[in-house]
Amino acid sequence: MANAFWCMVEDDRKGTPKKVMAEVIGEATRLAGGDVEAVWLTDTATDDGIRQLGEWGAKKVWLIEGAELAPYRAEVWVPIVAELVAAQSPKAILGPVTSRQREFMARLAARLGVGLAGDCMGLAMDGDKLVGTRPVYAGKLLAKVAWAKTPWLATLRPNVFKPADAQPGQTAAVERPSVQIPAAQLKLVERREEASTGLPELTEAEIVISGGRGMKGPENYVILEELGGIIGAAVGASRAAVDAGWRPHRFQIGQTGRTISPKLYLGFGVSGAIQHLAGMRTSKVIVAVNKDPEAPIFKIADYGIVADLFEVVPQLTQEFKRLLEK
């Protein structure tokens, strides 16, 4: 349908859409007034997954299923979706910020010759035009952007948009367009899994714990992981801690790491260097624990405790445990 808002489905690679899709579909529904369709490229889609998309509000699921679609490769995905866009003329295409959507949406935008607003934190209709709000300079400023023509392409930062409430019984029509799947140029050699911490991914997590220079050494992060395990938080680090070699780069929060907007951020021994603040200041609630009362992070914290983190963390873990066991 020519007025449809498309949502690019990000899945767990096992046939189920990720939870962040509730946010993308929810936002698309608000903007489109209900004319929302999901586009899902995958090697395997489960019925449960399709049902989930419907319950979140997708009226239709464009399902392109094929073994060649995994792992994601831009040269395979982009021509398929571009062809579908040409045939269906959607008004907008939205996706969550993930490793593959980041590249895919950019490439699709170039193929279609349209604008892409990456990493949006706000979308709003201004008359019949869409306006996107996105952080720039790692969140030091906000840019409002508009699109010269449709389709409007945007990626949405996780945890920022209100997720759709699942409506049991609400279903999506499934359409399987016949498409030519282009040959892949990238040949997969192997996939190396990271040793799982059992904690959520940094950019997707609703709660993020961060340890800074005050952690004193890599061995002490275990107390943060323990706390993370109790409250379901990802554990990240400041650049100081990463540069000291205490944590791998992928855990770095800040301008040269991950920019995050969780519902709750807890910083321990993080001083709040400007480039770290840039990466997390859009968090909804910020808690800071530092023994230096002058640490800049207290300026943006909603709650602060001036104390030694090594005293605070174990007690906090116990307290949360007691609360959540109730």
Partner 1 sequence: MKLELTDEQQMIQAMAREFAESEIAPIADEIDRDERFPHETVKRMGELGLMGIAVPEAWGGAGSDMVSYVLALEEIAKQCASHAVVMSVNNSLYGWPILTYGTDAQRERFLKPVAGGHALGCFALTEPQAGSDARNQATTAVRDGDHYAVNGRKLFITNGRESSFALLFCQTDKDKAHRGITAMVVEKGTPGFSVGKTEDKLGIRASDTAELIFEDCRVPVAHRIGDEGQGFRIALAALDGGRIGIGAQAVGIAAGALARAIAYARERKTFGVPIGEHQMIGWKLADMATAVDAARLLVWRAAWLKAKGRRCTLEASMAKLFASRTAVQVTNDAIQVHGGYGYIREYQVERYYRDAKITELYEGTTEIQRLVVAREVLGGAE
Partner 2 sequence: MKIAVLVKQVPDTATQMKVAGTAKAIETAGITWIVSPYDEYAVEEALRIREKRGQVEVVVMSLGPDRVKEALRSCLAMGADRAVHVNDPALAEADTLMAARALAAVIKQEAPDLVLTGRQAIDDDMGAVPAQVAEILGWPCAYWIMEEAIADDGKTVRIGRQVEGGLEIFDVPMPAVLSAQKGLNEPRYPTLKGIMGAKKKEIKDVKASDLGLAAEAPQLPVVALEALPPRPPGRIIPGDVATAVKELVRSLREEAKAI
- By CB under 8 A, the residues from 228 to 247 that bind partner 1 are 243-244
Q: Which of 47, 128, 294, 325 binds partner 1 (CB under 8 A)?
A: 294
Q: With CB cut-offs between 5 and 8 Å by kind, which of partner 2, partner 1, none does residue 282 bind? A: partner 2
What is the x/- site pattern for partner 2, positions 51-80, by CB under 8 A?
Answer: --------------------x--xx--x--
Q: With CB cut-offs between 5 and 8 Å by kind, which of partner 2, partner 1, none does residue 294 bind? A: partner 1
What are 124's two structure tokens?
A: 């709003």
Query: 152 - beta bridge partners?
Result: 92
Residue matched to tokens 């899945």: 11
Contact 201, 235 (CB under 8 A): no
Binding status of residue 99 toward partner 2 by CB under 8 A: yes
The angle subtended at Cα 235 by Cα 98 and Cα 238, nearest 5°, is: 90
- Closest to 207 in 3D by CA, of 229, 186, 223: 229
Binding status of residue 102 toward partner 2 by CB under 8 A: yes
Residue matched to tokens 């945007």: 154
Query: 123 - beta bridge partners?
Result: 132
Looking at residues 140 to 169 of the shown chain, list those that interact with partner 1 (rule: CB under 8 A). Answer: none
Look at strands 141-146 and 129-136 and give their pairing.
antiparallel
What is the x/- site pattern for partner 2, positions 274-293, by CB under 8 A?
Answer: xx--x--xx-xxxx-----x
> Rounded to whole angstroms, how far apart are CA atoms 300 and 321?
27
What is the x/- site pattern for partner 2, positions 117-146, by CB under 8 A?
Answer: xxx-----------x--xxxxxxxxxxxxx
Stretch that binds partner 2, among 23-31, 34-42, 116-124, 159-167 (CB under 8 A): 116-124
Q: With CB cut-offs between 5 and 8 Å by kind, which of partner 2, partner 1, none does residue 148 bind? A: partner 2
Q: Each residue of 180-216: b (16+ CB within 10 Å) or e?
A: eeeeeeeeeeeeeeeeeeebbebbbbbbbbbbbbbbe
Name the residue type at position 22. Answer: A
What is the x/- site pattern for partner 1, positions 250-289, by CB under 8 A?
Answer: ----------------------------------------
Binding status of residue 302 toward partner 2 by CB under 8 A: yes
Stretch that binds partner 2, among 55-63, 161-169, 171-179, 305-313 (CB under 8 A): 305-313
> Rounded to whole angstroms, how far apart are CA atoms 319 and 323?
6
- What is the DSSP code (8-state) at residue 262? -
Binding status of residue 126 toward partner 1 by CB under 8 A: no
Binding status of residue 47 toward partner 1 by CB under 8 A: no
Closer to partner 1 by CB, 132 or 272: give it: 272
- What is the DSSP code (8-state) at residue 162? P
The residue ranges that bind partner 1 (CB under 8 A) are 243-244, 294, 296
